[in-house]
Chain A
Amino acid sequence: METPEQTVMERLEHGSAPPPDAEVPAAHTFEVKNVSIWYGEKLAIDNVTLDVAANAVTAIIGPSGCGKSTFLRALNRMHELTPKTRMEGTVLLNGEDLYSSTVDPAIVRRRVGMVFQKSNPFPTMTIGENVVIGLRLNGVRNQRFLNERLEKSLRMAALWDEVKDDLHKPGTSLSGGQQQRLCIARALAVEPEVILMDEPCSALDPIATAKIEELIYQLKARYTIVTVTHNMQQAGRVSDYTAFFYLGRLIEYGPTTKIFTNPGEKQTEDYITGRFG
């Protein structure tokens, strides 16, 4: 068992990715079957089938415009906020169909939390309010419970020690990396089953990025994490499984070690070695 203090680099050296023979994940959080998504006339996701492993980090990589972000958003129905989208196929979350007509997308998003490309704390709320707003939306009024969850979420997001005396200050008073961890704490507070991350480090400096990566690594003990990233090294460092998307199609999917050391497809290899994208 690794200690939280262990750094990302150390982990890389010791090679803590899943054993190479773990071709097929044991338990699945998401089962995605034949999903296609259109924006108006444009096909953004083309018949993708993929199972997301539970309590693991799955990275989605691919060049800009390959549909990786759209795919991620299909996992909590966020893509529906974009006008004129159409979707086919099924997405099961722990066996339940997220797109069944009886399912409320708001409930889906409470079960599947999300962290975005740029940190987006609510500027009119304090740090504390930002963390518990999701619980408040769920109707939680018990102040003691809120306080407990506030501390727990901030601790899990590795932010508690930095902000515990400043909980009443606005969320936007923090640095960029702290704001992103605040957003992670906000997502954690509602205790989702999954956390989706859409390029969570793309706006951060290397030190802040390392902290988020460290955090992702710790969080996977409790959560299933799906992260989109532009950064190949990051995918290699933090993920257990990697899915490579190109032009809306899933080209290759497997354990990260295999994708990075012995890709099965020429396109994957070209992308990973930096020949395009």
Chain B
Amino acid sequence: MGVAASIAVEERSVQERMARPSRFGDKAFEWLTLAMALAVVVLIILIGWQLWIGSSVAIKKFGFHFLTTSTWDPVAEQFGALPFIYGTLVSSLIALVIAVPLGIATAAYLTELAPLWIRQPLASLIEMLAAIPSVILGLWGIFVMIPWLRDYPFPWLKRSFGWTPFFSGPIYGPCMFAGGIIIAVMILPIITSVSREILRGVPDLQREAAYGLGATRWEATRIAVLSYAKKGLFGAVILGLGRALGETMAVTMVIGNTPQIAVSLFKPGYTLASVLANEFTEATTDMYLQALFEVGLVLFGITILVNLLAQLLLRTIAAKSATRAVQ
């Protein structure tokens, strides 16, 4: 009887132990993490809200013209942001054209071709590029990059491709092209390191399949690695684009800061981020400040739009390959 009783006691205690132990900790952890996750969403919404409030008068006054006109005259209170939108998009595009092939090629070298001992040090060095403060890159851009570009590559481009509108006209130095190049330098580390992670994630089995057929290193990289990683690499490009759109300091220092829409990449331009950085301290009138807030709102909108579009594109690609797989 004593034994039975003690067994009963033990059973109960087992049940208690099974039922009790700190459900509270679990719940608390869940709430805490949920709160953290929600905080990010709330923050984004609040920022958008603030920009909206700050620019509501300007939005009402200029309406759609704000996005489609090119006059930026604070004295006359005429505000059209088209040159900035154009500058942001074009300089980011130039940056992508330069940084994407360079970044993906570097990543492919680091994962597929480079001798083992050099891979990690080289990868770390590239990531260090991201640690250089952008104002320092800007200084380097003004004093080293622009004089060099003006003396060597630009004249050559003008001689060779001057017949296209993109490389025509006088060469000043600070210009849209220089801005694009400096952004390329700034987004190169993220494109490279994300691409490298993605390429490293490609299963060795895929590489072996290619090598087993007698593929050379380049062929194996092309058919087994890059093509397998296509989607992930696209993600890396979009991350880079997100950065490029918002780059401010270094671009401001080399792009020339002239609100104009010029086809020639040798002409100075202006970006949304640059105009904010340059003119916030000078915004003496309410309407001026409102217009700058609206510039911020437009930049905010463009980055969010780009990211949404990218995700949508990725999802359709995924869905397409899924239905192909089901068929």
Contacts and interface: CB of A to CB of B under 8 A. Distances in A.
A116 B205 contact: yes
Given A116-B205, A169-B327, A124 B213 contact: no
Nearest to B213: A134
Interface stretch (B15-23, B25-33, B188-196, B215-223): B215-223
Contacts of B223: 122, 125, 133, 137
Contacts of A22: none
B327 A173 contact: yes
Given A122-B206, A122-B223, A124-B228, A78 B211 contact: yes
A106 B216 contact: yes
Given A83-B116, A170-B324, A120 B206 contact: yes
B37 interface: no
B2 interface: no
Given A124-B228, A124-B230, A170 B321 contact: yes
A113 interface: yes
Nearest to B204: A81
Nearest to A130: B209
A70 interface: no
Chain B interface residue bracket vs A: 20 to 34
A120 B208 contact: yes
Given A106-B214, A109-B211, A116-B212, A122 B325 contact: no
B227 interface: yes
Nearest to B224: A122
Given A122-B227, A124-B228, A137 B213 contact: yes
For the side of the interface on A, what is the size category? Answer: 20 to 34
Interface string A118-146: 10111111000000011001100000000
A44 interface: no
Contacts of A134: 213-214
A172 B224 CA distance: 14
Interface in A74-119: 76, 78, 81, 83-84, 106-111, 113-114, 116, 118
B212 A106 contact: no
Given A122-B228, A183-B209, A169 B324 contact: yes
Contact of B208 (A81, A138, A173): A81
Contacts of A237: none
A181 interface: no
B136 to A, nearest CB: 37
Given A133-B223, A173-B325, A173-B326, A116 B213 contact: no
A52 interface: no
A78 B210 CA distance: 11
- Among A114, A137, A172, the most chain B Cβ lie within 10 Å of the Cβ of A137
Contacts of B324: 169-170, 173
B227 A124 contact: yes
A124 B226 CA distance: 10
B212 A109 contact: yes
B267 interface: no
Contacts of A78: 208, 211-212
B215 to A, nearest CB: 6
Nearest to A126: B324
B214 A187 contact: no
Contacts of B325: 170, 172-173
Given A78-B208, A169-B327, A110 B214 contact: yes
Interface string B295-327: 000000000000000000000000001001111
Nearest to B207: A81
5 contacts: A106-B216, A134-B213, A138-B214, A170-B321, A170-B325
